[in-house]
Amino acid sequence: MLKERRLFCFLYAEAIVLLKEQFLLNVDIFLPIFVLSNHIFMKTNTRLILKVLYIVSWVIFVGLCVEAGGYLVNAFFAMANPGIVDRLWKDADLSDLFRFDNGHFCVMNLAIFVVSGMKAWLFYLIIKNLHGRKLDIAQPFRKEVRRFITWMSLLALLIGLFSFWGATYAEWLAGQGVKMPDEQHLRLSGADVWLFMSVILFVIAQLFKRGIEIQTENELTI
Amino acid sequence: MMAKRKMSLNELSEKVGLTLSNLSILKTGKAKAIRFSTLEAICKTLDCQPGDILEYKTS
């Protein structure tokens, strides 16, 4: 807790200095906010963190839904009205791919949609479990929590695999002479990170399985 | 043993300091383990030996 507080204070101080120097803002008014936030931080407990995570998860979920839907709608619009391909999605410009081959264009869009869709599904699961305090800190070792972690592990694995496949496919298309945006803009980067996360979550799920066994035995010990 | 001592489950739970549900788990044989302290408290209340209330059965 002390370490987190120190880190928070350091980051806050750095942000204040940056604002003052770069944007010439009079940030002395932030001092009371700093004091208050420091006080709040001292009282931060798990419930508050979970609440914040719940809100952040909602924001990310909505963003990912918009992204996934956007790519799908763009693909349909591109097929219906090829003239507007250049004006769709500024960063992930697939106009060159569209001119190269319609089939490859559809597959690429499908890959991006699947990855974004699964990321949205992952955050939906997080929201579902955080909502209504299903994650009971008093009794964390429950079958529902283990199932939730296992599902997250599976989704992370699928996201990693599809991202890897999508990135490899984009690389192959670039090798065919098609001007492709980079992995970052196609939302297919970080496959290795997703695979790593999948392994970690799987291990945690196994630990939870053992924890449930120990807890059940403990509960049935009179 | 409870019938011999003319004691109900409620009465036993109050004297031993166990909840009714725990006592019920014990009585129905669903318990995985019992602490020595609990066994001692039950034997003291019912004035009996552990062998009088525990029985081994092959599963």
- Residue span of the structural domain in which B15 resides: 9-53
Contact criterion met (CB < 8 Å) for B35 and A217: no
CB B16 within 8 A of CB B35: no
Give the model confidence (pLDDT) of A12-53 as tens digits.
666 566 555 554 444 444 544 554 455 455 455 777 888 888
- Residue B4 belongs to a domain: no
> Is B32 at the interface with chain A, CB within 8 A?
yes
**In-domain check, residue B20:** yes
**Mean pLDDT of all residues belonging to chain A:** 80
| Per-residue pLDDT at A44 | 59
User: Residue B58 domain-assigned?
Assistant: no
Helical packing angle, A102-130 and A46-80, nearest 10°: 160
Confirm whether B49 is domain-assigned: yes
Is residue B2 one of the residues assigned to a domain?
Answer: no
pLDDT band at A212 (very low <50, low <70, confident <90, very high): very high
Q: Which value does ipTM take for this structure?
A: 0.70
Tokens of B11: 């009465």
Q: Helix, strand or coil for residue A180?
A: coil
Q: How far apart are alpha carbons A157 and A200 in whole angstroms?
A: 11
Chain A residue closest to B17 (CA)? A222
Q: What total of structural domains would you count in chain B? A: 1
Q: Which two tokens stand for residue A81?
A: 């009205």
pLDDT at A153: 95
C-alpha span between B50 and A206 (Å, rounded) = 38
Asked whether A170 and A188 are in contact (CB, 8 A), the reply is yes
How far apart, in Å, are the Cα atoms of A207 and each of A11, A154, A210, A216? 34, 16, 5, 14
In this predicted model, what pLDDT tens digit does every residue of A164-191 receive, in sequence order? Answer: 999 999 999 999 888 888 888 888 888 9
Contact with chain A for residue B31, Cβ under 8 A: yes
Residue A217 touches partner B, C-beta closer than 8 Å: yes
The predicted model scores a pTM of 0.69
pLDDT for the residue A32: 45
In angstroms, the CA A94 to CA A52 distance is: 37
Residues of B in contact with A222 (CB under 8 A): 18, 22-23, 25-26, 31, 33-35, 38
